[in-house]
Amino acid sequence: MKLQNYTTSYFAGVLLVLLSIWAVIFYLEMLDEIYDSLDDGLENQKMLVIQRAKEQTDILNKPEFDDGSYTIKKVSPNYGLQFKDTYRDTLMYMQNEDDFEPVRMLESVFKLDNSYYKIKIVTSMVEEDDLIEDLLFSLIMLYLGLIVSILLLNNFILKKIWNPFYLLLNQLKDFRIDKDKTITTSPSKIDEFNLLNKRIEQMLGKSVESYNSQKQFIENAAHELQTPLAISINKLELLVENNNLTEDQIAMIASALNNLEGLTRMNKSLLLLSKIENSQYDDDETVNLAEISKELIEDFQDLATHKGMKINFVEAGSLNISMNRQLARVLISNLFKNAIIHGAEENTIEVKVSNDKFSVSNAGRTEALNPDKIFSRFQSIRTSKRSNGIGLAISKAITERYNLNLNYEFTGRHNFYITR
């Protein structure tokens, strides 16, 4: 939900609560005013009836409301002295409505010529049901009007106010540190937006500078390391050709060569991993993992045959992914190499490709590997001197780069699989 709509939803909720509370208070106040007005009218009508009774004594015996809005009947002095004026709501049959309708009634006692008379006076009143219905309808219309007003205000006026923020947000969404050097901010009359723009520019500037420095350092370090390593390996190889060396000296030189070659492979792997994590591989295209697998199986066939292994390829679909082709080859190569190097000899490596899954499984250790550490650097089980322990870490970095899932499971066989 966008920030503007999120704010509007809060406004709507608060308004609903406030209007509900206000409606109850307004309703009670309205009823109080209505009753006060009705009671004043009944009191005035009582005074007029009493005045008329003094002039026309024939109305002193009027027990029914047949021909008027009041009744008068004689009561005992004791009853008259103890009686107090009362106002109450009741129902009365109305011929024009053919139904019982609510009325307001005043009951009182007055004295005339040493006699006491009880008088009842009624007047029609607004029906509470109609009042509630009209009030509810009015409140709903008021609420809808306020919501529409807020939406119009939010989308036409507040949207313009928030425009610098959304402009910055859109640029950040598409920003890539390996390509974009900076972003363009829009000046605003709001201090907070200007401060946000300033801080974002500063942070991105430092991030781009750090990224470029790191990238240059990695490239320089990798280049500078490769040269002395290559020279050292070359000189040691020339030294081995010297016929004057003893077997112990040759063994020591061979050990040094193996370590230097391992260091060279590790240097290349770390450089590759750093480039992947820094998104330095572009030129994405749609690659078919089944086709790449077929190509790489031929390349790894000799290594697998050397260990007495067979590679069984099952193509049950075509898994197409938009990614860099070189990285796709590195991803699958690492999984093949991992299965061959760490797999048990004289066994079969299963490679399966479907429309939504790519998997490589091999027989090996009889217990499962730690899934929390298997994709970490230098955490894999190393059973070969040619394994530097970061092949699976590189594969994991590649899949994360393209929002893929690389997982491991043990079902008697070690299974690595890729899903979207």
Reported as a single tens digit per residue, the pLDDT across 260-294 is 877 777 777 667 767 766 666 667 889 999 999 99
Segment 148-157 shows an average pLDDT of 75
Domains in the chain: how many in total? Answer: 3
**Domain final position from 144, 161, 176:** 144
- pLDDT of the residue at 293: 92
- pLDDT of the residue at 253: 83
- pLDDT of the residue at 391: 80
pLDDT tens-digit profile of 339-368? Answer: 998 888 889 999 999 999 999 999 988 788
- pLDDT of the residue at 133: 74
- Domain assignment present for residue 256? The answer is yes
Q: How far apart are CA 62 and CA 64, in angstroms?
A: 6
pLDDT tens-digit profile of 184-204? Answer: 777 877 888 888 888 888 888
Q: Are strands 348-353 and 310-315 parallel, antiparallel or unpaired?
A: parallel
Answer yes or no: do 409 and 323 share one domain. Answer: yes
Segment 357-381 shows an average pLDDT of 80
- Domain assignment present for residue 395? The answer is yes
Answer yes or no: do 107 and 202 share one domain. Answer: no
Closest to 335 measured CA to CA, from 317, 355, 353: 353
- Domain assignment present for residue 187? The answer is no
Closest to 268 measured CA to CA, from 385, 395, 391, 365: 391
In the chain the first and final C-alpha atoms are separated, in Å, by 26
Answer yes or no: do 9 and 140 share one domain. Answer: yes
Range of the domain at 226: 194-277
Q: What angle do CA 169, 175, 178 make, to 5 degrees?
A: 160
pLDDT tens-digit profile of 10-33? Answer: 777 787 788 788 878 887 887 788
Answer yes or no: do 272 and 338 share one domain. Answer: no
Answer yes or no: do 322 and 410 share one domain. Answer: yes
**CA dist 315 to 288, 289, 355, Å?**
11, 10, 9
Lowest mean pLDDT among 23-37, 216-230, 237-251, 399-413: 216-230
- pLDDT of the residue at 132: 67
In 10 A of CB 66, how many CB atoms? 7
- Domain assignment present for residue 72? The answer is yes
* 246 contact partners, CB below 8 Å, separation of at least 6: none
Q: What is the pTM of this model?
A: 0.48
Q: What is the mean pLDDT of the chain?
A: 81
Q: How far apart are CA 363 and CA 412, in angstroms?
A: 7
Share of the chain above pLDDT 90, in %: 15
Give 150-168 as a DSSP string: HHHIIIIIIHHHTHHHHHH
**Domain final position from 224, 253, 277:** 277
Answer yes or no: do 265 and 320 share one domain. Answer: no
Answer yes or no: do 306 and 366 share one domain. Answer: yes
Answer yes or no: do 133 and 213 share one domain. Answer: no
The pLDDT of residue 384 is above 60: no
- Domain assignment present for residue 198? The answer is yes
Answer yes or no: do 301 and 271 share one domain. Answer: no
Closest to 367 measured CA to CA, from 382, 349, 381: 381
Q: Which three-class secondary structure state does DSSP give residue 75?
A: strand
Answer yes or no: do 269 and 289 share one domain. Answer: no
Alpha helices by DSSP H, listed for 179-241, are 191-240
Answer yes or no: do 266 and 303 share one domain. Answer: no
Q: At what angle do helices 191-240 and 163-173 cross, to 10 degrees?
A: 10
The pLDDT of residue 412 is above 60: yes
pLDDT tens-digit profile of 91-131? Answer: 887 766 677 778 889 999 998 888 899 999 988 875 666 77
Output the six-digit token pair for 248: 């112990």
- Domain assignment present for residue 183? The answer is no
* 97 contact partners, CB below 8 Å, separation of at least 6: none
Confidence of residue 256 (pLDDT cuts 50, 70, 90): confident
Answer yes or no: do 205 and 139 share one domain. Answer: no
Please report, for the domain that includes residue 306, its CATH number: 3.30.565.10
- Domain assignment present for residue 186? The answer is no
- pLDDT of the residue at 91: 83
Confidence of residue 222 (pLDDT cuts 50, 70, 90): low
More confident residue, 158 or 346: 346
* 8 contact partners, CB below 8 Å, separation of at least 6: 150, 151, 154
Confidence of residue 231 (pLDDT cuts 50, 70, 90): confident
**Domain final position from 254, 277, 300:** 277
- Domain assignment present for residue 182? The answer is no
